[in-house]
Chain A
Amino acid sequence: MAGAEGDDSLYPIAVLIDELRNEDVQLRLNSIKKLSTIALALGVERTRTELLPFLTDTIYDEDEVLLALAEQLGSFTVLVGGPEFVHNLLPPLESLATVEETVVRDKAVESLRKISQEHSPVDLEVHFVPLVKRLASGDWFTSRTSACGLFSVCYPRVSSTVKAEIRQHFRTLCSDDTPMVRRAAASKLGEFAKVLELDYVKSDIIPLFTALASDEQDSVRLLAVEAGVSIATLLPQEDLEALVMPTLRQAAEDKSWRVRYMVADKFSELQKAVGPEITKTDLVPAFQNLLKDCEAEVRAAAANKVKVFCENLPEDSRETIIMTHILPCVKELVSDTNQHVKSALASVIMGLSTILGKDNTVEHLLPLFLVQLKDECPEVRLNIISNLDCVNEVIGIRQLSQSLLPAIVELAEDAKWRVRLAIIEYMPLLAGQLGVEFFDEKLNSLCMAWLIDHVFAIREAATCNLMKLVEKFGAEWAQNTIVPKVLGMANDSNYLHRMTTLFCINALSGVCGQEITTKHMLPVVLKMSTDQVANVRFNVARCLQKIGPVLDSSALQAEVKPVLEKLATDQDMDVKYFALEAISGTFPFISLTFET
């Protein structure tokens, strides 16, 4: 089809092709991303015979180009002539699957997996499986690691002889010399097990799992944990004890903290996979041990799972298990020496109250919350505060308010601005739960104080916070409590505070509505147009543009327009610029010319 329409249509394609080998990476990348356009122009025949061979050898390129290429080839089937010819895509993807860069290899494998589905069963055995075997027995570990991800996609669709070969190759890779390949095999073990017949899971996968789980490298062992979880879901309950549990138990007590960490991290999945009985007999004690682990990383990972683990305990014995086995450990963690452990716990501990109900919460959990609210580490306190809603549903927040307030005040005045920023973000939530009265009494002054914080990010967050509060409490509340204070700052001697007034008005005008904006805010803004600081003046212009839509047309014409026109003749360039912007934004149909 190329050439038929003459040179004009050829030209852009010719440029694209030439740029496949441009020295500029960006141009090559652009070209590769339009590979489908090139292929379309070349037609399926030339794509197969010329373009793909060229691409197969283009493995010297930069990672980003190779990555884009690997991705493109995954959806190239139509461009090479449909499923019948899909195997033509295998050579370039095969060479991409052996490069050293992990992301490129992974993408090539992903594309190979995708196009494997487009192979007919015959093509799969004739073309795809040989490729997998070549990769699996490649000289370099890069190709062998890539092979690990391809077994599971071809296994279900090949004859039983080929199946046996595939299993054999997988077995070989599981005992490869290089840890990289063993890791790749371990991470695909669960996935491969899923496509195997149950008998082979028992006869093949279990021994591999056991071997990988006792590998000399802990980086391999820890990946076997995840595989163990997947395998456990495949086996009937009665086989679990004999086939999987000994290995998993061993993993939970592994010498290496990284392996135990992995067990803790996968604990909820594990719990689901093994079912309620084994959970009661095995996982509960294992979980207790993880919560008491000597390595803080492990404790933190386990602490993160406390809520989900408790939630998923069998209902008949849930409360007993929590009260007698889990809660004692949790109590210790509350005063852990490591702050990451404490803050991990703080992010989930509130969730226990819904599980345990009102009485237990008041008696057992509340004291823990109170301790954590006083924790020296701000993150712990923040995590408690950010999860208050769970407790609110069970016992109401009032129970906590005595301790809550000092904690909030302290965070609000923390020396680190990021901590202050975090607590500001919870203010609307807290306000909603504590109610307007409590808020006015205790927290309002904090919210106003943030407006004059010396860090801009805090002032900005504070204005946004005010807007959300008004959304919650309504315009009337705004007019009585915060608007006067905000407008008062317009007379502050510090120009940054005067600007804050403008920023607040920007944020509040919408939620406060036309009346308050026109009556109270607009006069202040207009007055500030004569401020001696140019930054304030051009923010007046921006502010007027912002609040324009809230105002009615008479106010716009009578009050806003003259001021903007005046600002548009300001001495300062920026003021002029923003004034003109505001005019053209607010009065789009009036074109004014100003002498400069």
Chain B
Amino acid sequence: MLSPVLCSDLAALEPEYTEADVISTVEFNQSGEFLATGDRGGRVVIFQREPQGEYNVYSTFQSHEPEFDYLKSLEIEEKINKIRWLPLHNPAHFLLATNDKTIKLWKVSERDKRAEGYNLRDEEGRLKDLSTVTTLQVPVLRPMDLLVEASPRRVFANGHAYHINSISVNSDCETYLSADDLRINLWHLNITDRSFNIVDLKPENMEDLSEVITVAEFHPHHCHLLAFSSSTGTTRLCDMRARALCDQHAKLFEEAVDPSRRSFFSEIVSSVSDVKFSHSGRYLLTRDYLTVKVWDLNMENKPVETYQVHDYLRTKLCSLYESDCIFDKFECAWNGTDSVIMTGAYNNYFRMFDRASLRDVTLEASREVCKRRAVLQPRRVCVGKKRKETDVSVDSLDFRKKILHTAWHPKENIIAIAASNNLYIFQDRLTPNGHHNTPEIQSAPPKWQTQPNPPTY
């Protein structure tokens, strides 16, 4: 059942925040025990789920710094575009974080022992009187307070001429892909000085450029399959078995546009802003400006399901174009059992669609409504006259407040929503810890609850 719950308020008590604090990506790890966020300031914050179910800050580190490319006279922002966790290796956790140009592999590990005993110095570091040193002492490891360390393990640089929009770890656990506007590269996790270009859309002449890659993702189980979407609204599936270069796709998922509905904005709004394979590997979820679509990998010519996210904006495209909002890149997410879909919208709203019952709900993630343990109330946007007091008219939507980044716990009904500098974590109130329940959207108010204690940042 769907009922979100507030989790963490990164800006804590300060309503004022800087651009650097704006969250730019959110990602659960494979077990859901950890949640990572990246922000525009190049920081990565990792939350760990406590036994009681709350997420608290586990580690914070600066992943990327602003840089300057002197050859191209280009500033490189430190903003974290994507974070991807590696499958569990050993007690340490590994994640890839990328900005526009450079991908870094981070190790987050715990240390609870410390070496003690010097020969020539005492524990405060003062030199001992050498005449007192008569025997050799081997240091001994003693327990200490738990220390979480984040250390950069690899830096994968210089692989991209354009801005990196996606990274995705392969199910073979040894390779990953990175995609920029025109190319997709394949890297080995242990090799930083070379990568293989597997897709290249760059035309001989840049004036012939007709589309750019918007997202790329590996299939969750089949190491040879990858999907990438483009600004023209298509999503392509590539089979890396067929050839070393995947410029020729195996499948092309595209829905014919009704010519009568074609307008100046048709192509812009059809640009795919996110692609996610379902956990089962059978379906693809794509998000464009106005809809989310579910595609069956076995059917290329039309989606099996289409959900309107905010169809009421169809008449507002002109002003959205002028304010550049039409280029916002909303992400989308599956729940753990692939039965519910979530994606963001404006006015701090986000939407959930239950695939079986076809019910949907609009919820709001904002400081005002997300009091501790509060149950979220559904919202309704109306085009004409307000029917209820709580209804919001389209004209009063705040387009500066947008929810672009969302993530769903891989197994449980816990979701993470990034709204500018705030991270909200909601969980299904009726889900006891560690138990699964099948989520469905109820017509009654969904009971997503905010996490009881907002983590301190």
Residues of A within 8 A of B (CB): 2-3, 7, 10-11, 13-15, 17-18, 20-21, 41-42, 46, 50-51, 54, 57-58, 60, 98-102, 140-143, 178-180, 183, 216-219, 254-258, 294-297
Other A-B contacts than A17-B136, A54-B140, A216-B222, 15 sampled, CB-CB below 8 A, are A13-B136, A18-B121, A21-B115, A42-B136, A57-B113, A100-B92, A100-B107, A102-B190, A141-B89, A179-B171, A179-B172, A179-B223, A254-B241, A257-B241, A295-B244
Bound-state CA distance A20–B107 (Å) is 23
B118 CB within 8 Å of chain A: yes
Known contacts A180-B174, A256-B241; is A3 also within 8 Å of B136 by CB? yes
Nearest 5 CB-CB pairs, A to B? A14-B119, A256-B241, A50-B138, A140-B90, A219-B172
B172–A217 contact, CB under 8 A? yes
User: Considering residues A54, A100, A143, A256, which has the most beta carbons from chain B within 10 angstroms of its beta carbon?
Assistant: A100
Residue numbers in B under 8 Å from A142 (CB-CB):
89-90
Known contacts A17-B136, A180-B173; is A99 also within 8 Å of B90 by CB? yes
Chain B residue at smallest Cβ distance from A103: B190
Bin chain B's interface residue count. 35 or more
Bound-state CA distance A142–B86 (Å) is 14
Bound-state CA distance A345–B174 (Å) is 31
Q: How far is the CB of B67 from chain A (nearest CB, A)?
A: 24
- Mark out the residues of chain B between 239 and 263 whose CB falls within 8 Å of any chain A CB in the assembled complex: 240-244
User: Considering residues B120, B138, B190, which has the most beta carbons from chain A within 10 angstroms of its beta carbon?
Assistant: B138
Residue numbers in B under 8 Å from A41 (CB-CB):
136
B88 CB within 8 Å of chain A: yes
B137–A17 contact, CB under 8 A? yes
Residue numbers in A under 8 Å from B32 (CB-CB):
none
Bound-state CA distance A140–B94 (Å) is 14
User: Considering residues A11, A15, A17, A60, which has the most beta carbons from chain B within 10 angstroms of its beta carbon?
Assistant: A60
Q: How far is the CB of A221 from chain B (nearest CB, A)?
A: 10
Residue numbers in A under 8 Å from B224 (CB-CB):
218, 256
The A interface is mostly helix, strand or loop, or mixed, namely helix
B223–A60 contact, CB under 8 A? no
B90–A3 contact, CB under 8 A? no
Residue numbers in B under 8 Å from A3 (CB-CB):
134-136
Bound-state CA distance A57–B223 (Å) is 36
Residue numbers in A under 8 Å from B223 (CB-CB):
179, 217-219
Of B90, B119, B140, which contacts A98 at CB under 8 A?
Answer: B90
Bound-state CA distance A217–B111 (Å) is 35
Chain B residue at smallest Cβ distance from A51: B138
- Mark out the residues of chain B between 82 and 115 whose CB falls within 8 Å of any chain A CB in the assembled complex: 87-92, 94, 107, 109, 111, 113, 115
- 11 A-B residue pairs with CB within 8 Å: A17-B138, A18-B121, A21-B139, A46-B138, A50-B140, A140-B90, A219-B174, A255-B241, A255-B242, A257-B241, A257-B242
Bound-state CA distance A57–B137 (Å) is 17
Q: How far is the CB of B407 from chain A (nearest CB, A)?
A: 24
Q: How far is the CB of A215 from chain B (nearest CB, A)?
A: 10
Residue numbers in A under 8 Å from B88 (CB-CB):
140
Bound-state CA distance A258–B133 (Å) is 62
A42–B244 contact, CB under 8 A? no
Chain B residue at smallest Cβ distance from A55: B138
Bound-state CA distance A548–B136 (Å) is 57
Bound-state CA distance A141–B171 (Å) is 14
Q: How far is the CB of B264 from chain A (nearest CB, A)?
A: 42
B190–A257 contact, CB under 8 A? no
Chain A residue at smallest Cβ distance from B175: A219
Binary interface profile of B, 143-158, with partner A (CB < 8 Å = 1, else 0)?
0000000000100000
B134–A7 contact, CB under 8 A? yes
Residue numbers in A under 8 Å from B222 (CB-CB):
216
Residue numbers in A under 8 Å from B137 (CB-CB):
17
Bound-state CA distance A179–B190 (Å) is 16
Chain A residue at smallest Cβ distance from B110: A60
User: Considering residues B90, B140, B223, which has the most beta carbons from chain A within 10 angstroms of its beta carbon?
Assistant: B90
User: Considering residues B92, B190, B224, which has the most beta carbons from chain A within 10 angstroms of its beta carbon?
Assistant: B224
B172–A57 contact, CB under 8 A? no
B130 CB within 8 Å of chain A: yes
Residue numbers in A under 8 Å from B130 (CB-CB):
7, 11
Of A7, A58, A143, which contacts B133 at CB under 8 A?
Answer: A7
Known contacts A100-B107, A140-B90, A219-B174; is A54 also within 8 Å of B115 by CB? yes
Of A2, A98, A256, A295, which contacts B135 at CB under 8 A?
Answer: A2
A10–B89 contact, CB under 8 A? no
B131 CB within 8 Å of chain A: yes
Q: How far is the CB of A142 from chain B (nearest CB, A)?
A: 5
- Mark out the residues of chain B between 183 and 211 whose CB falls within 8 Å of any chain A CB in the assembled complex: 190
Bound-state CA distance A20–B118 (Å) is 10
Q: How far is the CB of B389 from chain A (nearest CB, A)?
A: 54
Residue numbers in B under 8 Å from A100 (CB-CB):
89-90, 92, 94, 107
B118–A18 contact, CB under 8 A? yes
Bound-state CA distance A99–B153 (Å) is 13
A257–B121 contact, CB under 8 A? no
User: Considering residues A21, A46, A57, A297, which has the most beta carbons from chain B within 10 angstroms of its beta carbon?
Assistant: A21
Residue numbers in B under 8 Å from A296 (CB-CB):
244
Chain A residue at smallest Cβ distance from B222: A216
Residue numbers in B under 8 Å from A183 (CB-CB):
174
Residue numbers in B under 8 Å from A255 (CB-CB):
241-242
Known contacts A10-B133, A54-B141; is A140 also within 8 Å of B91 by CB? yes
Known contacts A7-B130, A15-B120, A257-B241; is A54 also within 8 Å of B173 by CB? no
A179–B173 contact, CB under 8 A? yes
B136–A14 contact, CB under 8 A? yes
Residue numbers in A under 8 Å from B141 (CB-CB):
54, 57-58
Bound-state CA distance A11–B140 (Å) is 19
A294–B243 contact, CB under 8 A? yes
Bound-state CA distance A98–B221 (Å) is 25
A54–B139 contact, CB under 8 A? yes
A10–B174 contact, CB under 8 A? no
Residue numbers in B under 8 Å from A14 (CB-CB):
119-120, 133, 136
Binary interface profile of B, 121-135, with partner A (CB < 8 Å = 1, else 0)?
100000000110111
B135–A17 contact, CB under 8 A? no
Bound-state CA distance A571–B137 (Å) is 61
Residue numbers in B under 8 Å from A20 (CB-CB):
115, 139
A2–B136 contact, CB under 8 A? yes
Bound-state CA distance A2–B133 (Å) is 11
Bound-state CA distance A99–B243 (Å) is 34
User: Considering residues B131, B172, B221, B242, which has the most beta carbons from chain A within 10 angstroms of its beta carbon?
Assistant: B172
Residue numbers in B under 8 Å from A60 (CB-CB):
109, 111
Binary interface profile of B, 286-329, with partner A (CB < 8 Å = 1, else 0)?
00000000000000000000000000000000000000000000
Chain A residue at smallest Cβ distance from B131: A7
User: Considering residues B137, B222, B223, which has the most beta carbons from chain A within 10 angstroms of its beta carbon?
Assistant: B223
A42–B89 contact, CB under 8 A? no
Residue numbers in A under 8 Å from B131 (CB-CB):
7
Chain B residue at smallest Cβ distance from A102: B190
Bound-state CA distance A294–B241 (Å) is 11
Bound-state CA distance A18–B122 (Å) is 11
Q: How far is the CB of B38 from chain A (nearest CB, A)?
A: 22
Q: How far is the CB of B173 from chain A (nearest CB, A)?
A: 5
Q: How far is the CB of B206 from chain A (nearest CB, A)?
A: 24
